[in-house]
Structure 1
Amino acid sequence: MSVTAVRFEHHDRALGIGTGSPRLSWQVRTDDPGWAQTAYEVELDGSRRVRVDSSEQVLVPWPFEPLPSRTSASVRVRVEPGGEWSEPVTVETGLLRPGDWSAKFVSPRAIGGIGQRAPILTRSVTLRSGIVSARLYATAHGVYTATINGTRVGDEVLAPGWTSYEHRLRYQTHDVTSLLREGTNDVEVLLGNGWYRGRLAWTGRRALYGDRLALLAQLEVTYANGSTEVIGTDEQWSASESRIVSDDLYDGQHTDLTLGSSAGSQVEVVDADFGRLVAPEGPPVRITDVVPAVEVWSSPSGKTLVDFGQNLVGWVRLRVRDAHEVTVRHAEVLENGELGVRPLRSAKATDTYVLPGRTETVLEPSLTFHGFRYAEVSGVDDLRAEDLEAVVVHSDLRRTGWFSCSDPDLEKFHENVVWGMRGNFLDVPTDCPQRDERLGWTGDIQVFSPTASFLFDSAGFLRSWLADLAADQRPDGAVPFVIPDVLPGDDPAATAWGDAAVIVPWVLYQRFGDAEVLARQFDSMRGWVDKIASLTTNGVWSGGFQFGDWLDPAAPPDDPFAAKADHDVVATAYLVRSAELVARAAEVLGRDGSAYAELAARTREAFAREYVTESGRVLSDAPTVYAQAIEWALLPTGAQRSRAGQRLADLVRTNGFRIATGFVGTPLITDALTSAGYPHLAYRLLLERGCPSWLYPVTMGATTIWERWDSMLPDGSINPGEMTSFNHYALGAVADWMHRTVAGLAPGSPGYREMIVRPVPNAALTHAAARHETPFGEASVAWRRDGGRFTLDVVVPPGVTAKVQVPGGEKVEVRHGKHSWTVTDPCLGPQRVRTVRELIGSPRWEDAVSLLVSHGIADDAVDAAQRAGRYLDRPAPELADVLAMKTLSDGSTAKRALEKLPE
């Protein structure tokens, strides 16, 4: 038995953390099935020890007095009974108080203005011998890249990242000990516009936070004799112009390597609030991958095009020979054989270079990023695929979740969800990475946060974003549509978007066991619910601006608001949901949440009174409103719930299993079908390949999730809507259902202290599996169907119990270790067939056809169709199409069944 993976807060690398009392987490490895932790002991710096009687091992309180600023400490953990000490792990605090900074924000005086070349700030520092350690603390108004003696400091990209700069500005802590030497040391810092001064949103506005770039840097050197030396930014620094002529996140970077450095210019101190400075809570943006080009060819117009085979975020790195001026344009898709740049709107997404000579040179930008799969390169003769690679950048989140199954298209869809998250989790959870937008839309992350929390360790990343949400929230509780808030407007209040203030903290608590995030965000959560409660009339939220079920596929391309689901119904349902979660959060925190529990109850009653008929019909009769009503328990009677489930199933069937939900309904529809007793329809919906569907983009060659169900039309043309992206993660939120229901791996209590293993298999798949690195260690669930038998394999990490529902079999509770069960295949069992046969001739006969054909029972499928008596007068090919619509998209099984029909 051993202790591993000791962590501080949510950090994999605990250098420069922002608290002196970091919570501790660890994992345990043991082969003893009966072992259970009863106590733990923490050792500080090899001498001080504290023992705690507790079985907890995730985010436990710091057991010592708080560490001061700039303090490095070594920590070991052991657990009882029978544990050995873990390997020592180091934590180091950053600058925890504004008074720890002696440096000042400095800005170039005569250069570096808007429209001018990117400035470099420099300082030469003379150091004594005997350097033991050195730290560089740095941040900027803009983005920065630092070098010492010609070597880059750190591996961050676009630091310090994007936060609500008026309220919160991150600084980074760098260990620069190895970069310094006795004598003269040259420190240089390149500044770029970034989010601070570049263009933001589609209005053309720039410099939303200020028109002057500035640097704050503090170099602290410790010598062998115990003395320290601090060199901070002040008037002694100088500024010069770089070779970067222009840089913008939307438009790209122009670099002229023929330019020389300008003479040194003075800097001046600028006012700044040091109380805004915060340490990072999650990992920075880094280069995480390099993707080689797969093809270079000429377009119909003679342009040189490059395909990297994957829609991604970053930039192109290319090697050129004998070139003078090089231009690289980027796009996500092709249209008519050329770059499809219309979805970029006003973003130029273009990098240009001017070269001084004809020697071999490697070119790449450093102050911008693009969303692209394809590039157009001009100015380079005889370009070869081996000369190009795509540099992938995003927040360097640790991968924690995986899914696999027997359907290659569904596996590809899941891979697309992962790539969509990678591209859009670039310091903030953005909507898209390519056009003149790239904003932290609250609605998108609200629906996707459960999936995000499974796929990657996004706790620190989202905690930081939530801190910005609380900072930007209006005094009356209204939540801006995007965080950080850069859109003009007063009093924003839109359901599903503002509800991110409540739902995302709750998801982090559920998935990571972090109750402190609820405590920190509780006023923000409560403020949002108080705001929307104040907008109700007769107990329901009606009227006012709403996004509604955004991008319902039935909405016209130029009117994404025009969803089938009634806006008031959607809004009132969310009020119930958020009020209920605030009440639960209060209970977790030991506070009085009764007012919010009562608000939820009153609103639930008003919802039923205003929007639900006695027979269970919900106003607007759209799949999304039924999904909300079923999943959030908005229907008061069992009969209403049953009828609502039937109606949802009917809507799914009559729509030919094409998707009919937007951003709001999509995360709920498969869960609602499953809860209502129609998991086979959820599978059929998930596995549909016609447009619109989750797998339609896969059939069109997509490598990320699209913004619209039909961002590309079946003829290969781009959707005519003004707003179209091919890298948007929101509609990939169904992956959470794939993890929890298809594979069967779900949290049963906060932080996975308890697992729920409840796979719902379907004959469309022969196997499925998911594994997830929980806070306690890796858990996995895998099932397979073979020869009439169903086998379920489960791995439970130490410290966790699992409640397992074996399909068609027993319910058991197991502790850590490997477990396996084999039972009769529930998809083909006699009882299932009898149940389906009973449906034949009933109003649910189409369910019988769907189930039987998906099971491959051709005779029963034909029998169901004949007994239904509805299609006997139709020719066989037309009947084949009908059965295909109700069952399998390619119709192959249905057509095989029809071979048994008489001529």
Structure 2
Amino acid sequence: MTHADQVHADAPRIGHSDEPFIPASRPPLSWKTTTELHSWTQAAADITVTRDGRTATARVDGPQSVLVDWPFEPLQPLETVLVRVRVHGKDGSVSAWSASSEATAGFLAPDQWRAHFIGSGSDEPHLLRTTFDVARPVRRALLHSTAFGAYDLLVNGAPADDAELKPGWSSYQWRVDLDVADVTELLRPGRNALGITVTGGWYTERFGFRDAAARFYEGPPAAAAQLTLEYEDGSVDTVITDERWRWTRAPVVSASLYQGETYDARLAAPGWSGPSFDDSRWSPVRRPGVPEATPTPRSAPPVRVTEHRSVERVLTSPSGRTILDFGQNLVGRVRIQVTGEAGHTVTLRHAEVLEHGELGTRPLRNAAATDRYIMSGDGEEVWEPKWTFHGFRYVEVDNWPGPFAPEHVTAAVLHTDMARTGDFTTSHPLLQRFHDNVVWGMRGNFLSIPTDCPQRDERLGWTGDMQIFAPAAAFLYDCDAFLRSWLEDVRLEQRVADGVVPMVVPAVIPQVPGLLEPVAAWGDAITVVPAVLWERFADHQTLRDCYASMAAWVDVVRDRAGGSLLWEEGLQFGDWLDPDAPPERPGDAKTDAGIVATAYFHRSALLTARTAALLGLEADARHYGDLAERIAEAFRGAYVTPHGRMMSDSPTAYALAIVFDLVRDDRRQALGDRLRDVVRAAGYRIATGFVGTPIICEALTRTGHATAASRLLTQTECPSWLYPVTMGATTVWERWDSMLEDGSINPGQMTSFNHYALGAVADWLHRDVAGLAPLEPAYRVIRIAPTLLDDLDDASVRHETPYGRAEAGWRRDGDEVSFHARVPPNTRAVVELPSGARHAVGSGTYTWVERHPRPSSQRGRLTLGSGLDTVIDDRAAYQAVLDAIRGIDERRAEAFRRTTRWWRGRELREPLDKAPLPVLAAVEQALADLPAHDR
């Protein structure tokens, strides 16, 4: 029995993304199988490749179907192939052949790239053009193009592709992406034209902070293009950028990623990129000096417009200005439709938030984030800036001609065009909005490189932010190709920094002290991110590519740590943005920086050892494994007391020791219990910064304190994950209190309303709360182990793994909880339910039901003599106390909320010892009025 109608093989993926042009000669192959057959496992697969009308077949034995090595002769430059697959199950089933996937080798032979970089010789935006003849029928026309700067290319007036801000940002000294497009359909017999718009983009931007901002890359922008014409008769012509091209100034008067774009429609030259345009008054191009970087075909998807959003509200500010609210903090730009007189200028100012009804621009620092359109006067005009992007929810419109209509403005959402792969759902509305905010934060900050924020004069590839967020990112989007590309720049920058991983990549702020000094949790991106790509995508090649860099980083830190193996010297950010740190000193954390640095030193050594073992480097595996053991021993000796206390009695210190496996089992529980106590003492409000926030809840649940994790997760007082949601946030903020409760912006000079780092806890929601995690790379074996939280009624996740759709989650129905799971074909799962029941299952859908009543308690009599821990653990009691104080003295209530430390063994009367008698009486009465039962 073949089961051909019951087993379906999807068209295979060629390479690491779904883009049609392949950057390598031996792209890996991946495919998914769809079937309702229970516990289906692949026994073998047949693969065919068709090239030049000839078909070859290869067979892969075993279950492997993710990033399978290319089993055929290498692709030749510009070769197009068709690949299909047929799978065989261990049960004897055989699928029909899949649909074919088509891909083209986008790379050129070393001697094929003959284009020159050309431009005007100035930094000003400019237009380039040339004409050429097509004398014979064309079989295929492939266009390769790139720039040091940002560019767009038109063929006979039509865009060559839909990518934006090409070629994107890379470490231009050594690497620039080469875009490839099939433009066959855009050509015509006879005379044709190519036109290129060139602006500075990242290449001419001024990087740095405040007055220290300066250009990093030298020279004016320049573009290069090569059109390969393959005729039906077998002959080939090429059209390249060279001295025969001509240039003129663009109607783009100015373009800056930070400052915005100004466009003068009066300077537009209709038809300038068409074949019949008269360019006799244009000037001959120049060949400016550019970095000696050979363009290589892009390996990650480009930036594209992925969504359009309408105006939700039109507001009038207290000063009388017109402000548009798009209802969502997004990254992109706006398009306007407008009619007016020639020379009339419409100004658009962008910001993420309003402050007391006006546009909140102070957090933008030196970024003007302002676009201007100067009208031509030729009827209705439609304009959308192309050479900038902004992080915004609100747009202030100035000097709109005539009555304003909101339907004449739309927002275009921009980011690297990755496929969405994961989601989390819950009926808890604030938590759901928080997770949505995490997704929007990733969308806005994954724009060519992983940035820290998309709105102010920064937008840099901070390595620490990416290291922290990588697991959540890999669940939410198919970001393997994106991060592989960025890691290539990390390695290049590290190579010239003698093994040090810069704080930002590309490393364009040399004026910042310590940029090329080793910094824990930031430089560790070179070990952590490749490990995540292995765990989530089975990307073995990235481990091979990064291994030398991983080892180099650990060796650098080893030298800095010295014989003690404690990394306690040099520049450190520590637990950056601890909520107790002053606004102007975000590195002043409760956790000793040496604890953070040494913990990460251990983690990187351990990841390097594991990578060496995977690569078969046994001596290296032993060396780095032994180093990791000795670091852990040094960590315990220096920072952990015999009774299970950390020398820094802070949540981050405990979480690092627990989650990074730095303590033995005999102390782990003691550390977990103390962590629960310090989390409680903070009133279940966040007390961690960048380093502790992603792992605090995991540390609690690992040590049996899910109730504390639940309180921490669902807290709405500031600081907490949900406080920004209560303040209307639609992305994750940089600071816990980026906006204060009175609606004013945090007074610090570093405040952003779109940072993904503090949203890294989403990985815990996916893996532990809903309970879906990989046990083997790419989810070949899945761990389904949900964690019930007292404050949630349900939690579910779905994830499009490299093998197919996986799901997990749970829902309460009274005292019963139903658990569900979906395991994709060719995988299996280990299921661990809260009752302790364990199941080993193959592919299929499953449901289990267990009895788990929510905890209920008999509330004893509460008084001023009750323990602080008893009061804070009782939500209703805590709220009753706070409301009682607030009803008499608002300021005293806020001080009580903010400063009380809820330690076990202390009485409620202690933080109220100087309170007036009416306050004490009100608190006593409020406690007496509580019902005997609370659930």
Cα deviation, residue 30, structure 1: 1.2
* Counterpart among 493, 505, 522 of residue 518 in structure 2: 493
- Give 1:604's aligned residue: 632
Percent identity for Structure 1 against Structure 2: 46
Q: Is this contact kept in 1: 2:145–2:224, CA < 8 A? A: yes
* In structure 1, distance between residues paired with 2:639 and 2:906: 36
1:659 aligns with 2:691: no
- Give 2:348's aligned residue: 328
Instruction: State the SS of the aligned residue for 2:12.
Output: strand
Matches within 5 A, 1:529-540: 529-537=554-562, 538-540=564-566
* In structure 1, distance between residues paired with 2:545 and 2:921: 59
Matches within 5 A, 1:149-548: 149-202=156-209, 203=211, 205-259=213-267, 263-270=281-288, 276-322=294-340, 324-357=344-377, 359-380=379-400, 381-473=402-494, 474-488=496-510, 491-537=516-562, 538-548=564-574
Cα deviation, residue 325, structure 1: 1.1
* Counterpart among 7, 11, 15 of residue 17 in structure 2: 11
- Give 2:897's aligned residue: none
Cα deviation, residue 825, structure 1: 2.1
| 1:479-515 C-alpha deviation (Å, 9 max, x unpaired) | 1110011011564210000000100000110011111
* Counterpart among 757, 760, 785 of residue 730 in structure 1: 757
| 1:416-473 C-alpha deviation (Å, 9 max, x unpaired) | 0000000000010000001110000000000000000000000000000000000001
* In structure 2, distance between residues paired with 1:681 and 1:896: 26
* In structure 1, distance between residues paired with 2:483 and 2:252: 33
Matched to 2:193, the amino acid is D
- Give 2:895's aligned residue: none
Instruction: Identify if the C-alpha distance between structure 1 residues 877 and 581 changes in structure 2 by more than 3 Å, giving closer, same or farther.
Output: farther
* In structure 2, distance between residues paired with 1:100 and 1:391: 37
* In structure 1, distance between residues paired with 2:777 and 2:626: 24
1:32 aligns with 2:37: yes
| 1:315-334 C-alpha deviation (Å, 9 max, x unpaired) | 11111122511111111111
Q: Is this contact kept in 2: 1:286–1:395, CA < 8 A? A: yes
- Give 1:758's aligned residue: 785
Instruction: Identify if the C-alpha distance between structure 1 residues 853 and 549 changes in structure 2 by more than 3 Å, giving closer, same or farther.
Output: closer
Instruction: Identify if the C-alpha distance between structure 1 residues 356 and 525 changes in structure 2 by more than 3 Å, giving closer, same or farther.
Output: same
Instruction: State the SS of the aligned residue for 2:206.
Output: coil
Instruction: Identify if the C-alpha distance between structure 1 residues 786 and 844 changes in structure 2 by more than 3 Å, giving closer, same or farther.
Output: farther
* In structure 2, distance between residues paired with 1:433 and 1:461: 17
Structure 2 length-normalised TM: 0.89
* In structure 2, distance between residues paired with 1:615 and 1:444: 34
Matched to 2:616, the amino acid is G
Cα deviation, residue 14, structure 1: 2.9
Instruction: Identify if the C-alpha distance between structure 1 residues 340 and 852 changes in structure 2 by more than 3 Å, giving closer, same or farther.
Output: closer
Matched to 2:370, the amino acid is T
* In structure 2, distance between residues paired with 1:529 and 1:681: 35
* In structure 2, distance between residues paired with 1:519 and 1:627: 30
* In structure 2, distance between residues paired with 1:102 and 1:812: 61
Q: Is this contact kept in 1: 2:574–2:592, CA < 8 A? A: yes
Q: Is this contact kept in 1: 2:39–2:844, CA < 8 A? A: no
1:21 aligns with 2:26: yes
* Counterpart among 118, 124, 134 of residue 127 in structure 1: 134
Matched to 1:295, the amino acid is R
1:689 aligns with 2:697: no
- Give 1:617's aligned residue: 645
Matches within 5 A, 1:471-870: 471-473=492-494, 474-488=496-510, 491-537=516-562, 538-592=564-618, 593-636=621-664, 638=666, 640-825=667-852, 827-828=854-855, 870=907
Q: Is this contact kept in 1: 2:575–2:690, CA < 8 A? A: yes
Instruction: Identify if the C-alpha distance between structure 1 residues 221 and 871 changes in structure 2 by more than 3 Å, giving closer, same or farther.
Output: same
* In structure 1, distance between residues paired with 2:517 and 2:169: 21
* In structure 2, distance between residues paired with 1:689 and 1:365: 39
Gaps of 5+ in 2: 1-6, 270-278, 881-901
1:60 aligns with 2:85: no
**Which has the higher mean CA deviation after the structures are superposed, 607-616 or 659-668?**
607-616
* In structure 2, distance between residues paired with 1:787 and 1:48: 59
Instruction: State the SS of the aligned residue for 1:596.
Output: helix
| 1:742-782 C-alpha deviation (Å, 9 max, x unpaired) | 11111111110011111111231111100000000010012
Q: Is this contact kept in 2: 1:807–1:826, CA < 8 A? A: no
Aligned length: 870
* In structure 1, distance between residues paired with 2:505 and 2:661: 30
Cα deviation, residue 8, structure 1: 1.6
Instruction: Identify if the C-alpha distance between structure 1 residues 349 and 881 changes in structure 2 by more than 3 Å, giving closer, same or farther.
Output: farther
Cα deviation, residue 200, structure 1: 2.2
Matched to 1:692, the amino acid is P
Cα deviation, residue 741, structure 1: 1.3
Matched to 1:524, the amino acid is S
* In structure 2, distance between residues paired with 1:527 and 1:459: 23
Cα deviation, residue 148, structure 1: 1.0
Q: Is this contact kept in 1: 2:265–2:374, CA < 8 A? A: yes
Q: Is this contact kept in 1: 2:859–2:932, CA < 8 A? A: no
Q: Is this contact kept in 1: 2:867–2:908, CA < 8 A? A: no
Instruction: State the SS of the aligned residue for 2:508.
Output: coil
Instruction: Identify if the C-alpha distance between structure 1 residues 809 and 541 changes in structure 2 by more than 3 Å, giving closer, same or farther.
Output: closer
Instruction: Identify if the C-alpha distance between structure 1 residues 226 and 204 changes in structure 2 by more than 3 Å, giving closer, same or farther.
Output: farther
Instruction: State the SS of the aligned residue for 2:285.
Output: strand
Q: Is this contact kept in 1: 2:41–2:827, CA < 8 A? A: no
Instruction: Identify if the C-alpha distance between structure 1 residues 577 and 34 changes in structure 2 by more than 3 Å, giving closer, same or farther.
Output: closer
Matched to 2:498, the amino acid is D
Q: Is this contact kept in 2: 1:95–1:101, CA < 8 A? A: no
Cα deviation, residue 817, structure 1: 0.6
Instruction: Identify if the C-alpha distance between structure 1 residues 92 and 897 changes in structure 2 by more than 3 Å, giving closer, same or farther.
Output: farther
**Which has the higher mean CA deviation after the structures are superposed, 506-515 or 92-101?**
92-101
Structure 1 length-normalised TM: 0.92
* In structure 2, distance between residues paired with 1:809 and 1:694: 30
* In structure 2, distance between residues paired with 1:855 and 1:60: 59
Give the superposed CA RMSD.
Answer: 2.8
